[in-house]
Amino acid sequence: MTTQEPYGVCCLEGLKVSMGMHNFGEKRWGSGILDDIRSLNDQNTRIIGDFTKMVRTAPIVELMYKTLLADKNWSLHFHKVVDASAFPELNNIDPVAAKIVSACGWLSKNSGKFRRRTLQTRFFETGDNFYLGMELPREFDQWKRDLSIQLVAELSTKNLLRGKESECEELKQALLHGLDQLWYFSCLEVIRTGDVYNPGARHRVPRLHVTDSLIPTSVGRLDVGESFRILDTPAEKYEVMAKKISVVVVRNVEGYVFLLNKSAKVKRESNLTRCPDGNQESKVVSAIFSATISR
């Protein structure tokens, strides 16, 4: 890391991460080594040739814009952030999703002018967790902060604050968090589809999600390792363990295994790190906008 660039870390875990990110790739030590510090019978595989990689900046920003255009879940995500805040009326008077799409389009066109053409990323694997820490372009950092001010500007114009300045700041922070999530999703996809992981494993790298899906689907359409919540009973999170002809083998966060009909309606969950209960997102992940969600 340089002293000039902002930086951040994306933390992910779950069955998909355990199965897909820790169990493929080339041998870490080669054959015949038994004194691995972590385990005597560990497979010693790693997802990358070394922990540090350089990733080009422009493709990340361009994919942010393409993702917003192609995946309706992202527009719904930002809509939900506003709807859960103290100012749900903002979705009607000045929808933020359309403004974010437009702003990302501008950023994509200007990404070639960024001071840093490549960014240093660093991977960490600890148990069931997978971390991607990286530098963030100073231009992106300034852009998202300026954009967060623009997204809530109409609240002042319409005189809707009425002593709710702290609630407005919470909404801005939640929107900033959403923009960071969009950045990391795009970065993970650029790494997944590029020549960054070990050549022998790059085609088996799973697609990692940093937001929940808000569009229902049938559980039979989810890949093995995906986590989800049943549409009718959303309190508990499950993971897909195996897929049969007419049923799906799933487990809950306590490890109990169930059979679920493939046609059951569910919403896919993100792969972000969870609290010790395995159900809710980690406080590290959600602290920045927890006040908004708890309303």
Domain boundaries along the sequence of the chain? 7-204, 217-293
User: What mean pLDDT is reported for the chain?
Assistant: 85
* C-alpha to C-alpha distance for 244 and 259, rounded to whole angstroms: 10
Q: Which of 290, 270, 295, 193 is nearest to 10 (CA)?
A: 270
What pLDDT does residue 6 have? 87
Kind plus residue range of the DSSP H or E element containing 248? strand 247-252
* C-alpha to C-alpha distance for 234 and 119, rounded to whole angstroms: 39
pLDDT digit string (tens) for 214-270? 999 999 999 999 999 999 999 999 999 999 999 999 999 999 999 999 999 999 999
Architecture of the domain whose range is 217-293 = Roll (2.30)
- Contact partners, residue 120, CB within 8 Å, separation at least 6: 1, 52, 53, 54, 134, 135
Identity (one letter) of the amino acid at 189?
A: E
Q: Are 64 and 108 in contact (CB under 8 A)?
A: yes
Q: Are 47 and 111 in contact (CB under 8 A)?
A: no
* C-alpha to C-alpha distance for 250 and 255, rounded to whole angstroms: 9
pLDDT digit string (tens) for 186-220? 999 998 888 666 655 666 778 999 999 999 999 99
Is it the case that residue 114 has pLDDT exceeding 80? yes
* C-alpha to C-alpha distance for 4 and 135, rounded to whole angstroms: 10
**Residues 17, 221, 130, CA angle at the centre, nearest 5°?**
10
Is it the case that residue 60 has pLDDT exceeding 80? yes
Residue 134's CB is within 10 A of a number of other CB atoms, namely: 23
What pLDDT does residue 291 have? 37
**Does the predicted model carry a pTM greater than 0.75?**
yes
* 205 DSSP 8-state letter: P
Residue 110's CB is within 10 A of a number of other CB atoms, namely: 13
Chain-centroid distance of CA 77 in Å reads: 12
